[in-house]
Amino acid sequence: MEKMSKALEKAKMLVGMEVDEEAAEEESSSFFDDFNRQCTLTTQQRLYGFAICLAAGLACTFLSMLVFFNPVKFGITFTFGNLLALGSTAFLIGPKRQVFMMLDPVHNKLLTLLAIILEFGALVWYSLSYIPFARSIVSKIMVSCFDTDF
C-alpha cells in the first residue's frame, strides 16, 4: 500500500500537483509557487489545455510556411507557434517545474559537441556568402581534399 501512495505522489509531482500542504509551506514563497497555487486544474483540464495549445502551436508553425517569403510575418508566426508548442507542456507538469527542467544542466556532451560543430559550420558557410565566389571556391577545395579518386 505504501508503494501505491509513493507512486501516486510521484505521478502528482510529475503533473505539477501539490503532493502535501506541509511540504509546500516549508518552501520559500516565490512567484512560481504562488502561480502554481492559483492555477489548480483538473487532470482533464490539463490534458485539454495541452492538446489545444500544442495544436495551435503546430498550426501556427505550419501556417508560417504560407508567408515564408515575407520575413517579418514568417518570423512572428513561426516564433509564436514554437512558443505555444513549448508552453503546452506547462499544462502537464506546471510552469515552475517546466522552467526548472528547461534550465536543468544535464545534457549529452557528444550531442552538444556535434551541435556546436554544426552551428560553427553554418556560421562559416553563411559568412562566406558575403565574399564573392567564396562558397564555390571552398566547395571545390573540399571536394579536392576529400576526393578518393587518384
Q: Rounded CA gap, 144 and 83, in Å?
A: 44
Q: Residue 32's pLDDT is what?
A: 61
Q: In which band, very low, low, confident or very high, does the pLDDT at 41 lie, cut at 50, 70 and 90?
A: confident
Please, which pLDDT band fits residue 18 given cuts at 50, 70 and 90?
A: low
pLDDT at residue 146 in the model: 85
Using a pLDDT cut of 70, give the percent of the chain over it. Answer: 77
Count the neighbouring beta carbons within 10 Å of the beta carbon of residue 147: 8
pLDDT per residue over 87-112, tens digit each?
A: 998 888 888 888 888 888 887 889 88
Q: Report the alpha-carbon distance of residue 113 to residue 9 in Å, rounded.
A: 37
Per-residue confidence band for 25, with pLDDT thresholds at 50, 70 and 90: very low
Mean pLDDT of the residues in the chain: 82
Report which DSSP code applies to 19. Answer: S
Averaged pLDDT, 61-87: 92
Mean pLDDT value across residues 30-55:
81
Answer yes or no: are the C-beta atoms of 64 and 81 closer than 8 Å. Answer: yes
- Residues 6+ away with beta carbon under 8 Å from 24: 18, 33, 37
Domains in the chain: boundaries? 2-106, 107-150
pLDDT at 81: 94
